[in-house]
Amino acid sequence: MSAFGYRDGVLCAESVPLPEIAERHGTPCYVYSRAALLERFGAFRGALAGRDALVCYAVKANSNLAILNLFAREGAGFDIVSGGELARVIAAGGDPAKVVFSGVGKTAAEMRQALSAGISCFNVESAAELERLDEVAGSLGLRAPVALRVNPNVDPKTHPYISTGLRSNKFGVACEDALPLYLRARALRHVEIAGIACHIGSQLLDPAPAAEAADKILSLADRLAAEGIALRHLDLGGGLGIRYHDETPPTVKEYFAPLLARLAGRGEKLLVEPGRALVGNSGVLLTRIEYLKHGAEKNFAIVDAAMNDLIRPALYDAWHDILPVRSRQIDAPLYEVVGPVCESGDFLGHGRRLGVEAGDLLAVMSAGAYGMAQSSNYNSRPRAAEVVVDGEQSFVVREREQVEQLFAGEHVLP
């Protein structure tokens, strides 16, 4: 299902023409589809039906309260990587008892915050973190539920910046260190062993590496059982990829089939942590062409969105389809689609064939994940508004930032 399509030559989000959104809310503007978000969540729930399972949305992909609230109402859990994300989940009505906390650098303050909120599990990524967690939990008179994030050393065959399960990555503990660390955890008074976790990377297009990782996790779980350590849950992470351009990712069902086959007959609860696959294709970045600039070597479409709004092209050389919101029957030369930021890396797309005029709107597709979430105020650019479309209605879920907000906390010297 695509929530974004042309009607009478005009690109719409569900039933709302995108020019209407630009008119009402301005540009640049992130536009999400409620139906698409729910459809994606339903696909995960459906694929895991019949199993004791919890879909923990990876908040970092898009942490807008409206999106968190939508998933919370569907019964989602959440995978967080900071105290800030925990505060967002709670503010959005999420259940802290369904939160898992990942990340290599949890501070003592974040541990206290998460323990007091009663989260479901800390995905511990080092021996030092385990010791600190025991100490912090002890100071609160609590026991911290833990899973060790194990690094299965498989190559997810994705972009190196988003590959996390190799021995050379900073994430998790090596397979061979896991057993001694579990034994240490068992001996600690203020931690309680809850499960085991892994996450090998993002934008995975092949289910095989995830299945290979699951094999290693399951054999570890069996070795732990032999030591008398019973796990309540297995957390197999996120990472399922989406189609940006010409990729053919597996469906949610296809992705989980080999994993579920391996889990048949096992009693542990299954946790998964999808981010991109839930929100990536549920949103677009709507932008307006300020100028067209025709040169001897290249043509530029200079738009009002930039790398500070969507950094994926600059950071990962990522491809996003860029569609004209109104299709025109005019010449379509190749354009560099660039923003106004003073960096040569400030581009949204290279060499795109577009039949457009200055003032036209463009939709940067597949922008729902790691778009707004990675935005910044570089060049003192206020962050874009965010809008959710529901049928024929649209709702502002984050107001466009005002310039004064950008320096409200700054002070000149006396």
Ligand X SMILES: *Cc1c(COP(=O)(O)O)cnc(C)c1O
Catalytic residues: 342
CB 252 within 8 A of CB 214: no
Beta strands in 91-136 (DSSP E): 99-101, 121-124
Please give the DSSP secondary-structure letter assigned to residue 292: E
Site for ligand X in 214-233 (CB under 6 A): none
Min. distance of Cβ 61 from ligand X in angstroms? 5
Residue 102 binds to ligand X (criterion: CB under 6 A): yes
Cβ distance to ligand X smaller for residue 79 or 129: 79
Residue 79 binds to ligand X (criterion: CB under 6 A): yes
| x/- track of binding to ligand X for residues 185-204 (CB under 6 A) | --------------x--x--
Rounded to an integer, what distance in angstroms lies between the CA atom of residue 41 and that of residue 234?
A: 20
Residue with tokens 């732990």: 224
Residue 163 binds to ligand X (criterion: CB under 6 A): no
Cβ distance to ligand X smaller for residue 28 or 239: 239
Cβ distance to ligand X smaller for residue 29 or 147: 147
Q: Number of residues in contact with ligand X, rule: CB under 6 A?
A: 17
Among 58, 111, 301, 389, binds ligand X (CB under 6 A): 58
Site for ligand X in 353-382 (CB under 6 A): 369
Cβ distance to ligand X smaller for residue 34 or 199: 199
**Interface with ligand X by CB under 6 A: which range of 86-94, 236-244, 304-312, 345-353?**
236-244
Residue 237 binds to ligand X (criterion: CB under 6 A): yes
- Tokens describing residue 166: 């190799």
Residue with tokens 């008892």: 97
Residue 304 binds to ligand X (criterion: CB under 6 A): no
Min. distance of Cβ 16 from ligand X in angstroms? 27
Closest CA to 274 of 171, 209, 201: 201
Helix, strand, coil percentages (3-state) for the chain, rounded to 5, are 35, 25, 40
Contacts of 151 (CB under 8 A, 6+ apart): 164, 165, 166, 167, 169, 171, 172, 173, 174, 175, 198
Cβ distance to ligand X smaller for residue 58 or 217: 58
Q: Give 192's strand partners.
A: 145
Residue 80 binds to ligand X (criterion: CB under 6 A): no
- Length in residues, the chain: 414
CA dihedral over 352, 353, 356, 360, signed as positive or negative: negative
> Residue with the closest Cβ to ligand X?
275
Cβ distance to ligand X smaller for residue 25 or 276: 276
Residue 61 binds to ligand X (criterion: CB under 6 A): yes
Site for ligand X in 260-289 (CB under 6 A): 273-277
Please give the DSSP secondary-structure letter assigned to residue 200: -
Min. distance of Cβ 106 from ligand X in angstroms? 12
Min. distance of Cβ 319 from ligand X in angstroms? 16
Closest CA to 216 of 239, 199, 229, 192: 199
Contacts of 43 (CB under 8 A, 6+ apart): 251, 252, 253
What is the binding site for ligand X (CB under 6 A)?
Answer: 58, 60-61, 79, 102, 199, 202, 237-240, 273-277, 369
